[in-house]
Amino acid sequence: MSDLTKLKIAEARNLLGKGELSARELTEAHVKAVEASTPLNAYVAVTADQAITMADAADAKIKAGNINGMTGIPVGIKDLFATKGVHTQACSHILDGFKPEYESTVTQKLWDDGAIMLGKLNMDEFAMGSSNETSYYGPVKNPWRRGTTDTVPGGSSGGSVAAVAGFAAMGATASDTGGSIRQPASFTGTFGIKPTYGRCSRYGMVAFASSLDQAGVITRDVRDGAIMLASISGFDPKDSTSVDLAVPNFEAAITGDIRGMKIGIPAEYRQDGMPSEIEALWQKGIGWLKDAGAEIVDISLPHTKYALATYYIVAPAEASSNLARYDGVRYGLRVTPENGSLDAMYDATRAAGFGDEVKRRIMIGTYVLSAGYYDAYYLKAQKVRQLISNDFKSAFEKVDAILTPTAPSAAFAPGEKTDDPLSMYLNDVFTVPASLAGLPGSSVPAGLDANGLPLGLQILGKPWDEETVFKVSGVIEEAAGFTATPSVWWR
Amino acid sequence: MSNIDKATVAKIARLARIKIEDQKLAPLAGELNQILNWVEQLDEVNTDNVAPMASVVDAKLRWRSDEITDGDKQESVLKNAPKAEYGFFAVPKVIE
Amino acid sequence: MSKYIIQGAKDDFEVVIGLEVHAQVISNSKLFSGASTEFGAEPNSQVSLVDAAMPGMLPTINAECVRQAVRTGLAIGAEINKYSVFDRKNYFYADLPQGYQISQFKHPIVGEGTVVLDMGDNKTKDVGVERIHLEQDAGKSMHDQHPQYTYVDLNRSGVALMEIVSKPDMTSPEEAGAYLTKLRTILRYIGTCDGNMEQGSMRADVNVSVRRAGEPLGTRCEIKNVNSIRFVRQAVEVEARRQVDIIEAGGKIDQETRLFDPVKGETRSMRSKEEAHDYRYFPDPDLLPLEFDDAFVEAARASLPELPDEKKARLVKALGLNDYTASVLVAEKETAVYFENILEALTSKTGKDAAALAVKASNWVTGDLFGALNKAGKTIEDSPVSAEQGAELLALIEDGTISGRIAKDVFEIMFETGKGAGVIVEEKGLKQVSDTGEIEKIIDAVIAANPEQLAQYRAGRDKLIGFFVGQVMKETGGKANPGMVNQLLKPKLDG
């Protein structure tokens, strides 16, 4: 296998710019790597021919001196971004055969910059899951194993992290609703960032929970994350929640200089029963930042413990409504019982098209919005959500960024948590609060646990201040010196 | 304490248009109760005088100008339809 | 107007009516997408991927629809809410692509206002408007095109509607009809809805309940989608009667949705559709709250034309029209425009004061013109005689060129041929005879030819003067100036 798949985006950019590497070569190497990655089940659709065509176009662009950060870079696309004429099903059976007639803004921006699509990446069905075990296309395997035991890649962006960690894409788009970028990044030793809500357009992104969904990226290091996030960010008039602000130069923010910066350590994230390895890693992270000249400030986010419960009301409520459009009328799966009425068609189509977790969340969401329960559940949750957001606001009056662990554990084995929805939900305990508040957050690989599995640290920033997130992420990355890679067992 | 019974699960399933087999109603009721009882911890939080979060971004709704910029794409609209005839979507007959 | 009472077998009942009117907003594109709102296109051709609820498609709001809703609110003196919220109303139907309708529930854009009804005899009645909110229309399902399938056309899906909700302030079918009529007039004046009920641009859900005098409000039934003013009146009548019959038979009214069948003249339950409705409203997370400032409201206010009530008051006060005629002229925007145009043209042609001409012009419009239009089955918009042409005709009467009698004949020809009044008068030689000598000659001849009538007149039968006038007019083919004939005839008859 060619070493080309081990290149970082920034490295490839240099070689491409100097003419020492062509997009075609780079892409061909990756197409092969994608084929070889089948045991990971990271890809649900491969667009090899399209990739070669796009690579040639990128080479022409480069030759014309028209190159930017993503030109000629082969990437994978999470299956919930609409890609014109290409499989787009959010890994749900209900979107069976759906090929959109439109392109999502996020992917269009990548193609406009000359990036190359390798294929569509596996994910939890409609992004509902934390282990990529709810996909209609089967679970994704984490390139990192616990000895010879498989582990899950985290979720919902399981395909994105597996492809990037498994050298089957230089970067991948991902989406984060309650932690779906950061938690899988932590499980796979990759860098993941979810920007401020409103930074990336949601146009053409299959919706899970509209007030929480935000696109982001998975890459192998912080700099690559800055390059790729810059490409997909920016105002889009087609999304009413997209905000008209200029996109800063994220890459330039990675200076390594955090002297005098105030880093908040929230007391409430120190939870009973937290594995000692997680606690130890967090302390290490605190030490690295202190060593780099930052001031560590104890802060309080008093409503943290209610974030998960809030999330598991708000997200299913929005989802129950967002997923009502999958009704067998205009696209996707249709199941009609013999002589069935329209209603029978709805019931049968949705019963066959949605998996158990999606059904569970639709049911919860329907219930919490229903007559007589709205105030007790949904309205209450939106009030608590406001309190959670206020907590962050007060904290950010005192600090520039917040450091926490990304996930309460390293990657676990498949099936370990599928029987108990609540224990699965607890995976998002550290990531959900920032999602509720719409804040930017990253996960940086920072160490390995006793089993040799990666662990990440989470950096949260103020709204629209991804630059600080990148700056602090860069310092953690540098100090951690995380160079481990999974042993390649799948090729 | 949430106490969803089988009939309530059936009612929710009906609202959500998801057919659930009779034998699955009871287990599903159990799961939903477990989740709802857990989220009811929010009752501990005092939210008197707290306005529910109205939007995540601190911005006003943008307006677009009243121009025809879209449409005239019947083929695209119908392209993925499980059944379309004469320019219409076709669905099992609705009995009024 | 006397009180509307339904006489039951034992007691008298009153009816209480409230209307929810759905009015299609006049705009080029849809409420949340850039597709056209035009009526009658090929199926699914005026549909964007947003309207078809493709995965990942998002709504963006049309500024004009916001402005139109605000203008409508201002036209009924309503409270304008500078902060409002779009909610999702969730239910499944084949022509509701998203599985929810974007509407406004808790915080509508327009609050309380008033519609003033003309009840005749200078009497008015205020009907309260509870709220106006913006929402999306659904598509259209056709159940009769195929034996196994229902066909769905999404052209209307996403078109902006204003839902105008009245208070239960109406107490007779006539009031319900008058309310809808007045509302339609206002919307058409300000150009926020074309009021075309046949095409469904305006339709009403009618809430009806009955009670014995002095009792609290009864249980109401909602009659859905009534699509003409006449049907609203009929639906109220039959529904109120149905409810009274049930109550008098010892029964109870179920709160339900019903459908009016104009052919059978009855309402019937739509309970099948009602089953398990629970709309699960919640704020649409794809949209932010809708906000605007006072300047926006003031600009909308400045864009309003003279409203029907204002116009009517002006016609009565400044132009001296009577209340009834003024009401007739302002009832339709096109009539009012026609009248104002004819009056303006007539004023400039004759140099006379508008107040001196208004009654004549209004009589001609509501008399001759309406009569001819009615007979021909035409509306004032497609009148073959323009306001300018009408003014030319009336100007010829004013300056004495033709008599009122001749004018009727000229108008008939104008209406048939579209020719101008002056041309017709010229061609047919219809100019009025005002030459004293010529008229005197004819008068002498008529007196000479009718000695018997002359004798009777002189014997005291004064009324016979009319006979002589008629004879003179007949001799001149109606062209003699009638004033002059009267003036010259009397001394000659008196001898």
Q: What is the pLDDT of residue B96?
A: 56
Judge whether A336 and B90 are in contact, CB under 8 Å: no
H helix intervals, C399-481? 404-417, 421-428, 436-449, 451-458, 465-475
Q: Give the full edge-to-edge strand order of the sheet including C87-90.
A: C100-103, C87-90, C282-283
> Is the model's pLDDT at A321 over the cut of 60?
yes
- Say whether residue A99 is in contact with chain B using an 8 A CB cutoff: yes
Query: Are the beta carbons of C288 and B61 separated by less than 8 Å?
Result: yes
Among candidate residues A127, A366, C101, A332, the one with its CA nearest the CA of residue B17:
A366
Sequence letter at residue C292: F
Q: Give the full edge-to-edge strand order of the sheet including A454-461.
A: A43-46, A116-121, A74-78, A171-176, A214-219, A191-194, A441-448, A454-461, A401-405, A262-266, A295-299
> Is the model's pLDDT at C95 over the cut of 80?
yes
* CB within 8 Å of chain A, chain C residues 135-174: 150, 152
In a domain, B93, yes or no: no
C-alpha distance from residue C267 to each of A206, A431, C64, C234 (Å): 44, 56, 37, 10
Residue B64 Cα, gap to closest chain C Cα (Å): 5
Judge whether C338 and C331 are in contact, CB under 8 Å: no
Best-predicted range by mean pLDDT among A1-5, B8-12, C7-11, C404-408?
B8-12
Q: Three-class SS of residue C246? A: helix
Domain ranges of chain C: 6-300, 327-428, 436-494
Residue B64 Cα, gap to closest chain A Cα (Å): 8
Residue C145 Cα, gap to closest chain B Cα (Å): 10
Query: Are the beta carbons of A317 and C282 separated by less than 8 Å?
Result: yes
Q: Which of A241-245, C205-209, C396-400 has the lowest mean pLDDT?
A: C396-400
> Is the model's pLDDT at A272 over the cut of 80?
no
The phi, psi pair for C181, rounded to 5°, reads: -60, -45
Query: Are the beta carbons of A325 and C98 separated by less than 8 Å?
Result: yes
> Is the model's pLDDT at C479 over the cut of 90?
no
Q: Using the Cα atoms of residue C365, residue C371, residue C376 and residue C377 in order, give the sign of their dihedral.
A: positive
Query: Are the beta carbons of A321 and C282 separated by less than 8 Å?
Result: yes
Contact list in A for residue C149 (CB cut-off 8 A) is none
> Is the model's pLDDT at C409 over the cut of 50?
yes
Number of residues that make up chain B: 96
Give the pairing type, strands A441-448 and A454-461: antiparallel
Residue with tokens 């929480």: A212
Residue of B nearest to C288 (CA): B61
Sequence letter at residue A143: P
pLDDT, tens digit (0-9, with 9 covering 90-100), for C272-312: 555 557 999 999 999 999 999 999 999 999 999 999 999 99
Compare CB distances from A239 to C49, C58, C100 and report the shortest one's residue: C58
Sequence letter at residue B13: A
User: CB within 8 A of A187, min separation 6: which ones?
Assistant: A142, A144, A151, A152, A153, A154, A161, A407, A410, A411, A453, A454, A456
Contact list in C for residue B94 (CB cut-off 8 A) is 94, 141, 143, 150
> Is the model's pLDDT at C313 over the cut of 60?
yes
Angle (deg, nearest 10), helices C333-350 and C323-331: 110
Residue C259 Cα, gap to closest chain B Cα (Å): 12
Mutate to test the interface with C, among B12, B65, B70, B72 (most CBs of C within 10 A): B70
ipTM of the complex: 0.96
Q: What is the pLDDT of residue A327?
A: 97
In a domain, B18, yes or no: yes
Q: What is the pLDDT of residue C283?
A: 97
Domain range holding B30? 6-44
Query: Are the beta carbons of A325 and C60 separated by less than 8 Å?
Result: no
> Is the model's pLDDT at A104 over the cut of 80?
yes
Query: Alpha-carbon distance A134 to A3, whole Å?
Result: 33
A271 falls in which pLDDT band (50, 70, 90)? confident
C-alpha distance from residue C50 to each of A212, C129, C204 (Å): 20, 32, 27
How is residue A97 written in tokens?
Answer: 């055969």
How is residue C102 written in tokens?
Answer: 């974007």
Contact list in B for residue A383 (CB cut-off 8 A) is 45, 47, 50-53
Task: Cis check for the bond before A156: say yes or no (omega within 30 of 0).
Answer: yes
- Neighbour count for residue B41 (Cβ, 10 Å): 14
* Structural domains of chain B, count: 1
Provide the CA A221 distance to its chain's centre, in angstroms: 14
pLDDT, tens digit (0-9, with 9 covering 90-100), for A121-174: 999 999 999 999 999 999 999 999 999 999 999 999 999 999 999 999 999 999
Contact list in B for residue A197 (CB cut-off 8 A) is 56-57
Q: Which of A86-90, C370-374, C429-433 has the lowest mean pLDDT?
A: C429-433
Domain ranges of chain A: 14-259
Q: What is the pLDDT of residue A274?
A: 84
User: Catalytic residue positions of A?
Assistant: 78, 156, 180
The architecture that CATH gives domain A14-259 is Alpha-Beta Complex (3.90)
In a domain, B19, yes or no: yes
Highest CATH level, class, for C436-494: mainly alpha
Compare CB distances from B15 to C62, C94, C276 and report the shortest one's residue: C276
How is residue A308 written in tokens?
Answer: 């998960």
> Is the model's pLDDT at C342 over the cut of 90?
yes
Judge whether A476 and A459 are in contact, CB under 8 Å: yes
pLDDT, tens digit (0-9, with 9 covering 90-100), for A419-433: 888 888 888 999 999
Among candidate residues C228, C234, C223, the one with its CA nearest the CA of residue C258:
C223
Residue with tokens 């010892």: C250
How is residue A489 written in tokens?
Answer: 């067992």
In a domain, B94, yes or no: no
Judge whether A369 and C90 are in contact, CB under 8 Å: yes
Q: What is the mean pLDDT of residues A271-283?
A: 90
Q: What is the pLDDT of residue A438?
A: 98
Subunits in contact with chain A (3 or more CB pairs closer than 8 Å): B, C
Q: What is the pLDDT of residue A146?
A: 94
> Is the model's pLDDT at A1 over the cut of 50?
no
pLDDT, tens digit (0-9, with 9 covering 90-100), for A401-460: 999 999 999 999 999 888 888 888 888 999 999 999 999 999 999 999 999 999 999 999
Query: Alpha-carbon distance A8 to A251, whole Å?
Result: 14
How is residue C296 written in tokens?
Answer: 């926006």
**How many percent of chain C have pLDDT more than 70?**
98
Give the pairing type, strands C221-226 and C257-261: parallel
Query: Alpha-carbon distance C484 to C488, whole Å?
Result: 6
Q: What is the pLDDT of residue C272?
A: 53
Task: Output the furthest CA–CA distance in chain C (Å, rounded).
Answer: 99
**How many percent of chain A have pLDDT more than 70?**
100
Q: What is the pLDDT of residue C492?
A: 87
Contact list in B for residue C258 (CB cut-off 8 A) is none
Interior angle at CA A62, CA A61 and CA A64, nearest 5:
65
Say what the alpha-carbon torsion angle A470, A476, A480, A481 is, to the nearest 10 degrees: 40
In a domain, B38, yes or no: yes
> Is the model's pLDDT at C477 over the cut of 90?
no
Residue of C nearest to A82 (CA): C56
